[in-house]
Structure 1
Amino acid sequence: MTDHDEAAAVRPLARAWVERHLDVGERIVGAEALHGGISAEVRRLTIGSRDGGTRDLVLRTFVDTPYEAAAEDWLNREALALTLLAGSGVPTPELVAVDPRAAYCEYPALLKTHLAGRTTLDGEGLEARVPALAGQLVAIHAVRPAERPQKYEALTTPDTVVTPQGADAAAWTAAINVIRRPAPPYEGHFLHRDFQPGNVLFDVLPSGSAGARITGVIDWAGASWGPTDLDVAHCSTTLALLHGPAWGPRFTDAYEEAGGVLAATSGERLYWQVRDALAASEEVALVARAWRESGRTELTTRVVEERLDAYVTSLMDTLG
């Protein structure tokens, strides 16, 4: 097997498990570590057949991370989501196998098909990608699955928020008070729960080409049932941190322009927007590191903290 780096090596038990789920005559002939995530190891496996042909699969493994305790739940959620979304028109990988309790592999793992395309985190072409992202999210929320996934979880509390050093104290205090209130009523929809540029694959178009075509939506470990505002707020926060605070509301506008429906009042919308932005405060260092590994080397933890502060402040400014 040819590894692109040491991190790509497939552990012996996982290798045996994967190969039990291949077609007759197939075997793993190569592996490449994929970077950019924060919760699991991800590898692209090249599968070779007797006739010399190849295809790719993706192996997702939870290994010694702060998220390992949640692996069983997340892998079961992803497996269910991929099953429910098959044939829905939403471009997702196909589930091959899942080992949520590490009964066969060294660690909890999921095996799925590989989709063409790549994630794009830089600013080039962003004007075209934002409407494409918004339209894709509307399509996800329109899915009516045969089985509802679990109700959404919002784990951030007023006590777990991490206010950045030098942040606007008054704005953050006001924001924290927003999430002390009960959650607004909502109409439930199928949610991705981590819909953002790092989990959306785009066609690699020739330089100068217009438009942006999505080829896949990946990482369904948080798939849930809940308010559309949660998914929209999460993508808005991520865009604000990647590209500047103004991109948060621009995504919200694009979602509505694509036919998406959000909470009825501005106060209800603000609740979900603030809740997601404050949740981001707990993972700034991890997210910033993942983005730097993906090529956005200028996004230090401090830069992301400053953008988060500016975004939270801008949200609270909407209250006048």
Structure 2
Amino acid sequence: MTNHDEAAAIRPSTLAWVCRHLEIGERIVSTDALHGGITAEMRRLTIGTRHGGTRALVLRTFVDPFHVERAEDSLNREAGALTQLAGTGVPAPGLVAVDPTAAHCEYPSLLMTHLAGRPVLSDEGVEARVPLLARQLVAIHAFQPAKRPRQYATLTTADTVVTPKSADAAAWAAAIDLIRKPAPPYEGRFLHRDFQPGNVLLDVPSLSPADALITGVVDWAAASWGPADLDVAHCSTNLALLHGPAWGLRFSEAYEEAGGVLAADASERLYWQVRDGLACSEEVQQVSQPWREAGRTELTKRVVEERLDAYVTALMDTLG
């Protein structure tokens, strides 16, 4: 086995577990660390087949103590989502095996098929990608699972919001007051719960970037049941931070243009948008670090905070 990256080395018992789930005559010929994840180590495994070809799998491993404590729930959610999505029109990885309690591996792990494509985070071509993202999210929300996943969670509270330095204090105070209110009623949908450009794989023709196609949606560890507005709000926040506040505001329009249905009342839609924006205030560094590693070096913590402030302020301005 050739390791292209020291961090990509698989620990012994995990290696044995992976090998037990390969086809007869197959072997791991190389591993590569996949960058961009926040909660887990990700590796692409190149598998040599018995007929001389290759195929690829992806191994997700939770190693950080904080996330290891929560890995069982996350991996069970992801395994459940991948199992139910198999054979649907949603381009999710296929589940190969899962060890949520580290009964066989050094750390909690999940093995799945590898999907072609890559995340695209550049500003170039964003106007063509936003409708693609919107249509894909509408398709996810249309899925009717045989067994509903667990209820969504919103971890932020009015008391944990971190107001950025030099932020519009009045706008943020009003936003914080807004999420002190009870959540609006909603019609439940199957949620990805972390749908954003970093978790969407695309095939982008080099000669025609506008003809990009979505090849996969990954990271289903937070799959939930809840309001479509919450998934839309989360993607909107990420677009605002990656490409500027205007793109965050644009996404909900694109979602409705694609046939998606959001809360009928504007104030209810605003609640979810603001709640997700404020939630991001608590993890700006966590969110922006993978983007910088992926080449968006200009997205420093300060720049992202400034964009978040502008986005939250723009949302609150819609109140008039």
TM-score range (shorter-chain normalised) is over 0.9
Q: Does 1:165 align with 2:175?
A: no
1:176 aligns with 176
Q: Which runs of 5+ in 2 are unaligned?
A: none
Report if the CA contact (8 A) 1:229-1:262 is conserved.
Answer: yes
Q: Normalization by structure 1: what TM-score?
A: 0.98
Contact 2:233/2:273 (<8 A) preserved: yes
Q: Which amino acid aligns with 1:301?
A: K
Paired residue total: 320
Q: Judge conservation of contact 1:236–1:251 (CA < 8 Å) in 2.
A: yes
Code of the aligned partner of 1:89: G
Deviates more, 1:59-68 or 1:195-204: 59-68
| Cross-structure match for 1:156 | 156
- Contact 2:39 2:64 (8 Å CA) reproduced: no
| 4+ aligned runs moved over 6 Å, structure 1 | none
| Of 28-37 and 205-214, the range deviating more from structure 2 | 205-214
Structure-2 separation of matches of 1:159 and 1:6: 41
Corresponding residue for residue 93 of structure 2? 93
Report the secondary structure of 1:46's partner residue: strand
Q: Which residue is 1:300 aligned to?
A: 300
Tell me by how many angstroms 1:155 deviates. Answer: 1.2
Using the alignment, how far apart are the partners of 1:207 and 1:299 within structure 2? 27
Distance 1:146 1:167 in 2: 45
What residue number does 2:33 align with?
33
Contact conserved, 2:195 with 2:234, CA < 8 A, in 1?
Answer: yes
> 2: CA distance between counterparts of 1:241 and 1:233?
12
CA separation in 2, counterparts of 1:287 and 1:68?
19
> Structure 2 counterpart of 1:58, which letter?
V
CA RMSD after TM alignment:
0.9
CA distance in 2, matches of 1:237, 1:263: 18
Q: Is residue 211 of structure 1 aligned with residue 217 of structure 2?
A: no
Residue 204 of structure 1 aligns to which amino acid in structure 2?
Answer: V
Match for residue 251 of structure 1?
251
C-alpha contact (below 8 Å) 2:204/2:211 kept by paired residues: no
Deviation of 1:5 (Å): 1.2
- 8 Å Cα contact 1:129/1:211 also seen in 2: no
Q: Does the C-alpha gap of structure 1 residues 153 and 264 become closer, same or farther in structure 2, counting only changes over 3 Å?
A: same
- Superposed CA offset, 1:280-308 (max 9, x none): 01110011111111111111111101100
Q: Structure 1 residue 209: deviation in Å?
A: 4.4
Q: What residue ranges of structure 1 are gaps of 5+ in the alignment?
A: none
The equivalent residue for 1:4 is 4
* Structure-2 residue corresponding to 1:224: 224
Against the structure 1 CA distance between its residues 87 and 50, is the aligned structure 2 distance closer, same or farther, given a 3 Å change threshold? Answer: closer
Q: Which stretch shifts more, 159-168 or 219-228?
A: 159-168
Q: Indicate the residue corresponding to 2:138 in structure 1.
A: 138
TM-score by length of 2: 0.98
SS of the counterpart of 2:240? helix
Q: Could you tell me the percent identity over the aligned residues?
A: 74
Q: 2-side partners of 1:8 and 1:207: how far apart?
A: 33
Deviations 1:47-104 (A, max 9, x none): 1123321100000011115322211111000000001111111001000000000111
